[in-house]
Chains A and B, each alone.
Chain A
Amino acid sequence: MSAPDPQPARRLKILVVEDDRPTLLLLTACIARMGHEARTAVNGLEAVKAVAEERPDIVIADLMMPVMDGLEATKRIKNLAGGQWLPVLVLTAKDEDRALVGALDCGADDYLVKPVGFPLLAAKVRGLAHMIELQRQLHDRSRELAAYRDGEERDTGVAVHVMSRLVNRDLLNDPALRHWICPARRFSGDLIAAARTPAGALHVLLADAAGHGLSAALNALPVAQCFYSMTAKGFAIGGIAEEMNRKIRHLLPIERFVAATLIAVDFRQQWVGVWNGGNPTLVALGAGGELLFAAPSRHLPLGLAADHLFTDGIDTYRYDEPCQLIACSDGLVEMPGAGGGMLGPEGLVSLLRAAAPEARLESVQACVRSAATVASPTDDISVAIVECGSLADASRAAALATGKVVRAEPGARQISLSAEELKYVVVAPLLLDLVRGVAGAEHHREKVFLILSELFNNALDHGLLRLDSRIKLEAGGFERYLELRSRGLERLAEAAIDIRIEIVRVSERPMLRIVFKDSGCGFDYANLLQAPPPATAPYGHGIPLLRKLCHSVEYRGSGSEAAVLYDLARSEAEG
């Protein structure tokens, strides 16, 4: 007799199913000798009941049995076992090949030919025990992983919450901007930000931080903060880019750069400025899809240029007709396009030109979604569309102003802006809407818009906020003026500007009559008209400009009411 058998690592419960009593007793003894616990059943039906009551670790079953044979029992036992593996070892007589194949097909894991020798049985049981152990470890690790992932999900949820507060996504409601970001993972390394300068110019930032996911999103944060605070102070985009470059360079490791497109739009002057470092070319498209202007990447992405090597050159463009600026990150351009390969910059422009202006964003989204059915995107995709001087934009902004534009009489339009509205309403599109609403003024749109802007700025800056233009003469004067204006506007309460515009006939000539009334206490207009500031001063050009453009300019009362007449019959040639 050999040395006592080594005890197994774990005592298993083994169910033995055998109708022949001596064999059953022998098997039970073998199992006990192996150090495991034996349970018994004399046919398949009993076996299935036993498994249902108390799940064993292994089942050893004879194939040929009355009531229910091993084959049927194996099937049912495997069914009961469900997701977790319950090994079944079948015992077969020498010439039962067909039955054996059947059992193996039903899920039996191994077999032994009777008469069963102890060494072989023990070896097979050891093998099965080992596999059971491996399976158990795998199951535990799965559970650990699931728990870890749940923890991660919770932490990520918190991070998303914090990020959205910091990046201030509510500021992206500017009527002139439409945008879309499609992150490759939960966090986007792409960021779009928009804000207005105190003067009402629109700044838009589209940034693509290297990499993607949470770490890339974190890299984009200092860029966003810088953008918002400097825009609020009225800095130009070249200066903002320079500061962002410095910040990234000093804050992050070299490989964490940020490709960025900065856009400035002055709706009043109909002027666009672009700084593009590392992003695909920005394009300006007309209503019919004409390519009006392109601003390719001329600079290193943010964070790479040493301070003295930083380049701040801006590409500029003046637009005469409504157009759209479209900027995007490389994720869009590198997306798979029709017919293999990438969409590419030309592919993107074709796609945009083929769509009507109001449907361009949807067209891009549809393209991205259909590409995603083929292969999931590997890079964040972001796109921003800025409306310059479009009528669609004007009506959206008018809606923002709570629809207070009133038709006083046929041909007359009136609007009253309260202090609250003056703070939040974006004025340029509103004025455009006013002009549009007056039939007969179509050909004079630009000039009338200019007149309205001048009158508005005078009413607000001087009438209500009492700002002194001479501040602009001092060093740093413009910045200070803008700052004062911003603060004054913030503090404004109990104030209003009323605007009325209508067509009248003066000596048989059709004229546009525009009246601005502000609730301030007026100014010494008589003095200003008598002794205007020198032509070289950086201020005071408003009233002379008005006088040049208008048939007449009149101030009434204390100066808080201005009325101008614009000659609609004058030809374009008169300038």
Chain B
Amino acid sequence: MHVNLRNTENTAVISLSGRFDFNVHRDFKRCSEAALQDGAGRAIEVDLGAVEYLDSSALGMLLLLREQAEVKRRSVALVNCRGPVKQILEVANFGRLFTIR
């Protein structure tokens, strides 16, 4: 599982690959904090295109990111969601909390 952060002109993109579960906790936190500390206030995107599976702790990590981002008035979008990831997000109705594309 790899987590990394890259900045484009308007967005801070956190991308993950492999299984998104509790083992990713530290790396995800590190990238989230870095993205949130971004002085330019870029919108945040979590790229799940290369993620095969996410469990409830992954959903929890996304919720935490959203909560922290809200405080700084930054938007969080979940992008490149497909397959099992898309299904899990749909069952959890996360579309009501995040922009999903």
A residues adjacent to B (C-beta < 8 A): 208, 210-211, 254-257, 259, 277-280, 296-301, 304-305, 309, 330, 342, 379
User: Are the CB atoms of B64 and A298 closer together than 8 Å?
Assistant: no
- Please pick, from B55, B64, B84, B92, the residue contacting A301 in the complex, using a CB distance under 8 A: B92
- Please pick, from A259, A304, A342, the residue contacting B63 in the complex, using a CB distance under 8 A: A304
C-alpha gap A255/B55 in the complex (Å): 12
B57, B67, B92, B97: residue with the most chain A Cβ atoms closer than 10 Å: B92
> Closest approach, in angstroms, between the C-beta of B75 and any C-beta of chain A?
17
For this complex, 27 residue pairs linking A to B, each with C-beta atoms less than 8 Å apart, are A210-B56, A210-B57, A210-B60, A211-B57, A211-B60, A254-B60, A254-B63, A254-B64, A254-B67, A255-B59, A256-B60, A257-B56, A257-B63, A259-B56, A278-B92, A278-B93, A279-B91, A296-B91, A297-B92, A297-B93, A298-B93, A300-B93, A301-B93, A304-B97, A309-B96, A342-B84, A379-B55
> Closest approach, in angstroms, between the C-beta of B100 and any C-beta of chain A?
14
Contacts of A296 in B (CB 8 A): 91
**Residue B5 lies at the interface, judged by CB distance under 8 Å to chain A:** no
C-alpha gap A280/B87 in the complex (Å): 10
Q: Is the interface of A mostly helix, strand, loop or mixed?
A: loop
C-alpha gap A343/B26 in the complex (Å): 31
Contacts of A300 in B (CB 8 A): 92-94, 96-97
> Closest approach, in angstroms, between the C-beta of A218 and any C-beta of chain B?
15
User: Are the CB atoms of A255 and B97 closer together than 8 Å?
Assistant: no
C-alpha gap A93/B57 in the complex (Å): 65
User: Are the CB atoms of A299 and B91 closer together than 8 Å?
Assistant: no
User: Are the CB atoms of A259 and B92 closer together than 8 Å?
Assistant: yes
User: Are the CB atoms of A210 and B91 closer together than 8 Å?
Assistant: no
Contacts of B55 in A (CB 8 A): 379
| CB-nearest residue of chain B to A300 | B93
Given known contacts A211-B60, A304-B63, what 11 new A-B pairs fall within 8 Å (CB)?
A254-B60, A255-B57, A255-B60, A255-B64, A257-B60, A257-B63, A278-B92, A280-B91, A300-B97, A304-B97, A309-B96
**Residue B85 lies at the interface, judged by CB distance under 8 Å to chain A:** no
A254, A255, A299, A301: residue with the most chain B Cβ atoms closer than 10 Å: A255
B56, B59, B97: residue with the most chain A Cβ atoms closer than 10 Å: B56
